[in-house]
Structure 1
């Protein structure tokens, strides 16, 4: 049974009440509840682990004195995550100076050599993992060498799009 409500003859104008303390309050249980609901609806999820490394750490790739330690740490990590059977795909990337950035502005294509922004951390590579929970993805991210000398962003991957009808 539904009841139709008539609009008030003289609607009351509501003003927003500012509650500055609410913006500072984090509600992790809400995000966790949303993730859990999504996981229950979709089953195991794929997460992209985006590895960003500080310039000095990234330069160890080609430094004769530091490259064996750099590649040894990554080799051990890649072996462990592959052995766990959770890797869907992934690639390391060439150094930032090999990048080309493309932007479209006012209908004109702008092409720039190198990364668009100078940042402290550079994109070094990514892995897509298929794991049951965000916590499992975070555990793998924390084990990556980039976590100690940069950052690892963990982001859910969108499900495949349906083919056009």
Structure 2
């Protein structure tokens, strides 16, 4: 069946119109922009959390270096790390604080060091981004110098 030329021209004009193409383009581009935004938020969260965990390790190492006993140094470092993370608003799924207090055993007059390593699992699951792991493990280590001439208890 052939259409009259006027009807055929009208049908071709309707087919050639771009009406609705903006909606289709928006439907394609919007999810990509949302994913890009979520990736930027994830990257920002990793960078800021890393900096805050570095600060917590520094606070913990300083607290351990001014302690006079081994057990006191470990307890003070763990408490300082937990306090610092809480003050900065970092919510870790799991936190591990490792303290090396061997620098407290050096004789008076010699410089010793105390090192603290903090490992924190930062949650990423709330971003709802496909392909992003549920959490990212961040580790920070800081070493603080023990005063060479202060008294120490073994």
Where is the strand percentage greater, Structure 1 or Structure 2? 1
Q: Which has the larger radius of gyration?
A: 2
TM-score, with normalisation over the residues of structure 2?
0.27
TM-score, with normalisation over the residues of structure 1?
0.26
Q: Which has the higher contact order (CA 8 A, sep 6+)?
A: 1
